[in-house]
């Protein structure tokens, strides 16, 4: 690596550490300052921070491989998360969540189920889920950044004693980067996270523009058209994927057939089914929920949700599309000639392109940008996960009367523990893809049912929530453990078959088990106290089946009105998904020089933006400060 590139990266790391530690003094004022920034951070900074936190290097490497192989329609793979849960947050969930005025997602649960035994059980299971999810994501980052740095950097830093390999180069690099990020995150809490993520977002945007610009200069239209087919450019699909590649690149068609996504219609159908319930369920108890709770007001929470969507996708996909175009031209022929081509080869396209085909200077900025992407997402989870350990477990059940300084010191220890467990889990993961599918489909599958019901059904109680979450969490954990040990199962057995199914297709099973636990736990126990339900419904005002509570409140206040915005919220969410999708495909078509489709995407973006101005933004402006 050229000295200029190394200097840029070193300068970025030092600047991030200085900024993160410099603002850390503000976090010492108490838990609210440490985990929520004292509700004193401007909404657009929180939006930038939230968008930066979603711009991770593992996910970027994953999406580069998907766009390379599947073409324009690959953006729908992001529905596995689902990426449009941010649209539901923007349209109505941010407002519902921020009205609670509390610190964490599990503390929020007490406003829904009360502080009795049932409420505390539901409160505890959310805290457990938040910690497990944070550990899972840290493992995902550990796996991704290790692979990325090993291909990019020329030094072998594996740790061996005799013939025993203690740490591979991948693991050593990952540990170094994680250690540096953990230092400023733990020291400064939310203030350091947001300050460094705003800086990191700026670097990522510059990197994306430079890479897309270089792809325009270095590669001609003729070179692009010689590789990608009409089907590669097509966002529409049928029940099965059509051949995306010409006979010259038949190896790529064969790889599509073997990856398990050939039945693309079924995959998208399952993603839509899961996506609706997962989106209405609301944000998982992680960094995006913390950003909502950190805003100054309900109105600013809604603004932040919209801003996150607006600033995230175009710069991210300029970067991804630029990398893919370079990879298609320079790596495509060589990869297609490989008789042993596998999905793992897609995961290293990103670092290979950077290593061999990006010029000096741009390479340093791009590496700094991708390192920023990793550090921003990682720091967000390191800040969010320990909040549940300290505020919702330690403070509530073990030491409720300690000083704020004591709680912050415990937060440091909790952060180190979460990072350590995530690293240990990362040692046992197969790949970025396996962790992605487990987190999006299995772990989040166990979250969906209970959190969907908590909004829409008044009778749903704390015990239903606890057993719904607990059963889903158990199934998801079993799926991960069994999925990492497939060799232990005999072909033809049920467990063997289950561990060889793509995780998204297991979602209905996990969802069904969790739903059963939710209903049994609810119907076999008494309802939540009426006063708790009335306070929750009066403050949050969700739509759904709340008629008994509405009638009780109406008797007390004849002016009380129920939320009748379900139809409008769903219409806005559908328009928002189209709006979001246009921001993803527009840079793809722009970078591959398909200008007619670029103009169509731009027109869709402008039309949907105009509609949302009247149907969403004007309504948000009327929310009282």
Question: Does residue 20 lie within any of the structural domains?
Answer: yes
Residues 144-166: b if buried by 16+ CB within 10 A, e if exposed: bbbbbbbbbbeeebeeeeeeeee
Residue 491: the pLDDT is: 44
The count of structural domains within the chain is: 1
Question: What is the per-residue pLDDT across 404-462, written as a single tens digit (0 to 9) for each?
Answer: 778 778 887 888 888 888 787 777 665 544 555 555 555 666 778 888 999 999 999 99
Reading phi first (left if > 0) and then psi (alpha if -120 to 50, else beta), residue 81 is in alpha
Question: Does residue 343 lie within any of the structural domains?
Answer: yes
Greatest mean pLDDT range, 299-303, 308-312, 468-472, 478-482: 299-303
84 contacts: CB under 8 Å, gap ≥ 6: 275, 279, 573, 576, 577, 580
CA neighbours closer than 13 Å in the CB half-sphere of residue 498: 19
Residue 482: the pLDDT is: 53
Confidence of residue 604 (pLDDT cuts 50, 70, 90): very high
Question: What is the per-residue pLDDT across 361-382, written as a single tens digit (0 to 9) for each?
Answer: 888 888 887 777 677 667 767 7
Residue 588: the pLDDT is: 96
Question: Does residue 256 lie within any of the structural domains?
Answer: no
Quote the domain boundaries for residue 296.
3-106+115-125+143-236+283-380+567-621
Question: Does residue 193 lie within any of the structural domains?
Answer: yes
Question: Does residue 307 lie within any of the structural domains?
Answer: yes
Question: Does residue 426 lie within any of the structural domains?
Answer: no
Question: Does residue 263 lie within any of the structural domains?
Answer: no
Percent of the chain with pLDDT over 70: 83
Greatest mean pLDDT range, 1-15, 346-360, 554-568, 585-599: 585-599
Residue 488: the pLDDT is: 45
Three-state SS sequence of 490-523: CCCCHHHHHHCCCHHHHHHHHHHHHHHHHHHHHH
Three-state SS sequence of 47-66: HHHHHHHCCCHHHHHHHHHH
Least confident of 151-160, 251-260, 285-294, 480-489: 480-489
Q: Which has the closest alpha carbon to 36: 100, 129, 81, 116?
A: 100
Confidence of residue 36 (pLDDT cuts 50, 70, 90): low
Residue 490: the pLDDT is: 45
Question: What is the per-residue pLDDT across 211-265, written as a single tens digit (0 to 9) for each?
Answer: 999 999 999 999 999 999 999 999 998 888 888 898 889 999 888 888 778 888 8
Report the chain's mean pLDDT, rounded to a whole number.
81
User: Higher-confidence residue: 227 or 50?
Assistant: 227
Residue 235: phi and psi, rounded to 5, are -90, -10
Structure tokens that stand for 155 in this block: 């030094």
Confidence of residue 500 (pLDDT cuts 50, 70, 90): very low
Question: What is the per-residue pLDDT across 328-339, written as a single tens digit (0 to 9) for each?
Answer: 999 999 998 888
Question: Which of the 8 DSSP states describes residue 622?
Answer: T
Helix 57-70 and helix 250-258, axial crossing angle in degrees, nearest 10: 120
Residue 436: the pLDDT is: 53
Contact assessment for residue 592 and residue 217, using Cβ atoms and an 8 Å cutoff = no
Cis amide prior to 82 (ω within 30 degrees): yes
Question: Does residue 529 lie within any of the structural domains?
Answer: no
């Amino acid at each position: 690596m050229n000295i200029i590139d190394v200097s840029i990266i070193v300068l970025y790391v030092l600047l991030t550490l200085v900024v993160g530690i410099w603002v850390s003094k503000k976090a010492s004022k108490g838990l609210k300052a440490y985990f929520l920034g004292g509700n004193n951070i401007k909404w657009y900074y929180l939006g930038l921070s939230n968008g930066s936190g979603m711009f991770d290097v593992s996910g970027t490497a994953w999406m580069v491989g998907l766009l390379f192989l599947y073409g324009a329609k690959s953006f729908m793979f992001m529905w596995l998360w689902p990426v449009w849960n941010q649209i539901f947050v923007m349209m109505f969930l941010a407002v519902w969540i921020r009205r609670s005025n509390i610190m964490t997602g599990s503390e929020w649960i007490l406003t829904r189920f009360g502080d009795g035994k049932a409420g505390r059980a539901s409160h505890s299971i959310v805290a457990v889920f938040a910690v497990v999810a944070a550990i899972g994501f840290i493992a995902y980052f550990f796996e991704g950044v290790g692979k990325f740095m090993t291909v990019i950097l020329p030094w072998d830093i594996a740790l061996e004693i005799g013939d025993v390999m203690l740490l591979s180069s991948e693991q050593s690099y990952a540990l170094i980067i994680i250690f540096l990020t953990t230092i400023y995150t733990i020291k400064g809490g939310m203030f350091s996270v947001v300050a460094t993520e705003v800086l990191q977002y700026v670097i990522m945007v510059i990197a994306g523009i430079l890479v897309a610009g270089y792809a325009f200069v270095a590669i001609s239209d003729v070179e692009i058209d010689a590789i990608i087919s009409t089907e590669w450019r097509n966002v529409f699909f049928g029940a099965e994927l059509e051949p995306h590649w010409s006979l010259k690149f038949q190896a790529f068609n064969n790889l599509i057939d073997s990856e398990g996504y050939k039945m693309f219609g079924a995959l998208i159908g399952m993603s839509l089914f899961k996506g609706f319930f997962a989106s209405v369920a609301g944000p998982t108890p992680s960094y995006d929920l913390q950003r909502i709770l950190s805003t100054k007001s309900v109105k600013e929470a809604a603004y932040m949700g919209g801003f996150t969507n607006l600033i995230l996708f175009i710069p991210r996909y300029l970067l991804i599309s630029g990398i893919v175009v370079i990879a298609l031209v320079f790596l495509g022929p060589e990869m297609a000639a490989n008789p042993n081509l596998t999905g793992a080869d897609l995961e290293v396209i990103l670092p290979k392109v950077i290593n061999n085909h990006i010029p000096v200077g741009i390479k340093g900025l791009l590496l700094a940008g991708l390192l920023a992407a990793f550090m921003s997402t990682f720091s967000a989870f390191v800040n969010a996960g320990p909040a549940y350990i300290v505020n919702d477990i330690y403070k509530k059940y073990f030491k409720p009367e300690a000083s704020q300084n004591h709680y912050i010191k415990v937060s440091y220890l909790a952060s180190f523990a979460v990072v350590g467990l995530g690293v240990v889990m990362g040692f046992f993961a197969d790949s970025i893809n396996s962790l992605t599918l487990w987190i999006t489909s299995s772990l989040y599958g166990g979250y969906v049912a209970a959190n969907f019901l908590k909004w829409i059904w008044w009778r749903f109680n704390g015990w239903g929530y606890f057993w719904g979450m607990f059963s889903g969490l158990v199934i998801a954990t079993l799926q991960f453990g069994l999925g990492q040990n497939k060799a232990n199962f005999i072909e033809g057995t049920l467990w063997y078959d289950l561990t060889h199914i793509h995780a998204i297709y297991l979602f209905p099973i996990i969802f069904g088990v969790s739903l059963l636990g939710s209903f049994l736990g609810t119907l076999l126990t008494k309802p939540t106290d009426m006063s708790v339900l009335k306070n929750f419904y009066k403050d949050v005002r969700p739509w759904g089946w709340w008629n008994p509570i509405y009638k009780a409140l109406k008797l007390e206040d004849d002016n009380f009105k129920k939320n009748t915005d379900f139809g409008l919220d769903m219409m806005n969410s559908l328009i928002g998904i189209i709006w979001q999708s246009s921001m993803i495909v527009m840079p793809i078509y722009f970078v591959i020089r398909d200008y007619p489709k670029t103009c169509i995407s731009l027109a869709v973006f402008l039309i949907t933006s105009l509609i949302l101005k009247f149907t969403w933004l004007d309504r948000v402006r009327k929310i009282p400060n």
